Structures are given as structure tokens and as C-alpha cells.
């Protein structure tokens, strides 16, 4: 059991109607995608062809920041506000999609972009599934 | 001139069609709102009646995280992606509105909530104006 | 293989003398501890006895922020600066120790504090081991 | 009066022996330096000579993250922990110094690096003064 799951298991109040499996998965994907994007931006900076990767660096940095904020919002349940959660998830879907699209352009040349695109797609999907489960 | 303005003035490429005054104002309000919300969450924790303020603490923490991420996204211009900027701004408007609504409920009892609600309303408005200027 | 490991494997330049296993472990513990602390602060807010937990909430929030920043610094390798890495790791050790000490005070009453204290101790140790390996 | 000052003025508990003017200044410099570093990293990405600026981008990103976390820690007063505050401030001094040193190398060529180096030096000094005032 991950710490994220244990924290939900030991939560001292009700979590409402939320799909716990979808929530745990989404928190994990947000953290993972944020770290992968931070690392991919840095890997791009180490490429001789960085001049062709500046849009990729920027999109990775934006995606890292939005995934990070979304993972934090999803980790809080007190005084739950569905509007705020949904808005954060929508921003996260958009950021992950932009970043996956951009990294896929470089995935054949740069394996770190392939790994990053996969992390972004997984996070995008996890956010979509959580949005659907929120009704 | 603030550092945010100086960084736009010295930016080595075009900024596109963005309304610079609206952009500078919005960056400033995001940073300011994030710090004010962090401080308001903490001030609530110091109140004897914290039990009645837990939703306020939570909403302030969420708003701080989303304003922070939005301020970072707005500070980047390379490989500009209007979809991503707009999505971050929409999440920020929602977070600021939720937090202002919640803080206003406690504003007569707790002056820090009044100050925080004002910072959230200013940030909400600055985000709205920047969204409008993006077309 | 985690994404953090894959990003190190596909890094396009040398990583210097760093102990990769210690680095991967430390990045993972920073992210995990940050999320667990964010969740523990929120779980404390849901306790009827929140008035006795305000120091715990605050310390969890500080620890979450410092672990988050440290995990980001550790995810970057270009233009590596050992002083900066070491300074971030020292701050993280201090934050994790403070948070573990505080959560342990409440661990018998609140299982989320027990889980959080364990995450903080693991992160503290991973940071110590990485500091040692940096020489 | 800035919102940071107003939040200290309306804080519902004692702030201990802290030098308020030094605290307010330091919070402001941390936020400002974080934003300036985020913008300078991005400005470097827009330079034709980005290949010679990759260490600068990386150091700016690290400094932005550490200043951000430090500004958050300084915005909390409940259950004050001088060890944790001091550790965050020491990391911030190191990050600001590294970033100022790096940006100064490029300051004659790139005005955004000059502005960023100045923001880093101001933040470094504000952190040093706050450390001194903590005794």
C-alpha cells in the first residue's frame, strides 16, 4: 500500500462519493508526471540541440507546476469543493496534453521525451477518469 | 518599475499580442494572493475558534497552490501556448472565487480573512481581465 | 523501473560521481513525503481535536514545501552545483526531523500522524544517505 | 501597506521576538526573486545563444523553487520552529548566491541576467539579515 493510500485509509472523516481508486491513482500520476516533466526539461537542456527544444522545456516546466498544484489540491478533503477540484483537474488535463503532444514530436530523437510523453498521457487519463467519476 | 515589469522589458523575443499591463498586473496579483492565502491559513490556525475555520484553511491552501502555479506559467513566454495559459487562468479564477467567498464569511470576525478576501478578489479580477485580453 | 529511474537512464549527459541508487531513492522519498505531509495536515484539520494539532498542521505544511523544492532540485543535473544540492538536502533533513518529531507526539491518537512520521523518517534518512554519498 | 504587512498586523497571536521589518522584507524578496528567476530561465531559453546559458537556466529554476518554499515557510507563524526557519533561510542564501554568481557572468550580454542577479543579491541579503535578527 502506498503512503497516499494509507493516508486515505486513515482519514478521520468521510471522503464523500469520490472513487477512491481513481483518486489514489490520480494523486500518484500527478506527482510522477510533475517529477518526470522537471527531469525532462533538464534533460533537454543537456542536449546539443537544445535550441530546437526550447518549447519543450517550457511546456515541461508549465506541466510540472500544474501537476504539482493539482496533486496538492487532490490530497486535501476537508471542506471539499468540487468546483475547485474540477477546475484544477481541467487545467491539468490541458497541461498534460500539451506536454505529451510536444514531447511526442521529439520522442524518436530523445528517449527522455518518450518517457515524459508516456507519463503525461497516463496523468491526462487519470485526471479524465477522476473528472468522470466526480459526475 | 517592478522586477516583473523589468523582466518583460528585457525579454529577448516578442511577447505576441498579449496586453503587457494586464500580464504584469496578473503576475503580481497571483504572487500576492498566494502569499496572503498561505498567511491566512496560518492565521486561522492561531484562532481559538479554528474548529469553525477548517474549510477556510483548506480553501486558502488550495488557492495558494493554484495562484503559485499560475504565476509561474504566466512568467514564461517561450513557445507560448494559449490553451495552457487559459486553462491555468480559469483554474485560478475558480480558486480565488472559492477562497474569497469562504473568507468573506469570516471577515467580520477575523480581519485577516477580510484582507485575504480582498487579495483573492483582486487576483480573480486580474485573471478575468487577462483572459479577456487573450481573446 | 520508475519514471524517475528511467529519466536518469535516458539522461543525455554524465551524472558525475553521484550514487544513482541513493539519488533515485531520495527523489522518490521527497515526493512521497511531500504528499503525505500535505495529506496529514488536511487529516489533522478533520479531527475534532484540531486545536491541539495546529503546530502539527504547520510543521506538515512547511515540510511538504521543503520536500517538494528539494525533489525538484534533485531532478536537475545540468550545470550541477553541489553546494546548492547540499543546502537543499540539509534543509530537507531539518524539516523532516521536525515533522517526524511532531507527528510522533500524536501517533498513538491519530494513525495518519503515525504514517506521516514514518514517511518523514524515511525521507530524512534518504537525504542523509545522499549527503554522505556526495562526499 | 503590502498584504504581507497587513497579514502580520492582523495576525491573531504573538509573533515572538522576530524583527517584523526584516521578516516582511524577506518574504517580499523571496517572492520577487522566485518570479524573477522563473522569468530569467525563460528569457535565457529565448536567446539564440541558449547553448551557453543552460547552467544559468538550471540555477534559476533551482533558485525559484527554493525561494518559493522559503517564502511559504516564512509566511507561517503558528508553532514556530526556529531550526526549520533557519535551515530554509540558509538554503535560500546558498541558492541566491549561486544564481547571482551565474547570472552576473552573463549580465553584460543579457540585461535579464543583470536584473535577475540584482533580485538574487537583494534576496540573499534579506535572508542574511533575517538570520542575524533570529539570533
How far from D35 is each of C30, D40, D60, CA to CA, in Å?
A: 23, 9, 10
Q: Do D55 and C94 touch (CB under 8 A)?
A: no
Interior angle at CA D69, CA A126 and CA C119, nearest 5: 60
C-alpha cell at C16: 558525475
Q: Which residues, other chains included, contact C117 with Cβ-Cβ below 8 Å and sequence gap of 6+?
A: C99, C100, C103, C104, C107
ipTM: 0.97
The answer, for A13 touching chain D at a CB cutoff of 8 Å, is no
> From first to last of its 135 residues, what are the pLDDT tens digits of chain C?
899 999 999 999 988 888 999 999 999 999 999 999 999 999 999 999 999 999 999 999 999 999 999 999 999 998 788 999 999 999 999 999 999 999 999 999 999 999 999 999 999 999 999 999 987
Task: Give me the total of CB pairs closer than 8 Å, taking one residue from chain A and one from chain D.
Answer: 22
Q: Do C39 and A119 touch (CB under 8 A)?
A: no
Q: How far apart are CA C105 and CA C114, in angstroms?
A: 9
CB B103 within 8 Å of CB B37: no
Half-sphere exposure in the Cβ direction for A85 (13 Å, CA):
22
How far from B110 is each of A127, B115, D74, CA to CA, in Å?
A: 36, 9, 21
CA torsion, ordered A106, A112, A118, A120, to nearest 10 deg: -90
pLDDT in tens, A63-107: 999 999 999 999 999 878 899 999 999 999 999 999 999 999 999
List CB contacts (< 8 A) between A79 and chain B.
54-56, 58-59, 102
What is the average pLDDT value for chain A, to the nearest integer?
96
Amino acid at each position: 500500500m502506498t503512503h497516499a493510500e494509507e493516508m486515505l485509509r486513515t482519514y478521520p472523516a468521510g471522503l464523500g462519493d469520490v472513487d477512491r481508486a481513481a483518486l489514489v491513482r490520480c494523486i500518484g500520476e500527478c506527482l510522477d508526471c510533475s517529477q518526470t516533466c522537471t527531469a525532462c526539461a533538464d534533460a533537454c537542456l543537456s542536449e546539443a540541440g537544445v535550441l530546437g527544444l526550447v518549447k519543450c522545456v517550457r511546456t515541461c516546466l508549465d506541466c510540472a507546476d500544474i501537476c504539482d498544484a493539482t496533486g496538492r489540491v487532490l490530497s486535501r478533503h476537508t471542506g471539499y469543493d468540487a468546483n475547485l477540484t474540477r477546475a484544477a483537474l481541467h487545467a491539468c488535463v490541458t497541461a498534460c496534453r500539451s506536454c505529451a503532444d510536444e514531447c511526442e514530436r521529439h520522442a524518436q530523437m530523445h528517449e527522455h521525451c518518450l518517457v515524459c510523453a508516456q507519463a503525461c498521457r497516463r496523468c491526462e487519463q487519470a485526471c479524465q477518469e477522476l473528472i468522470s467519476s466526480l459526475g
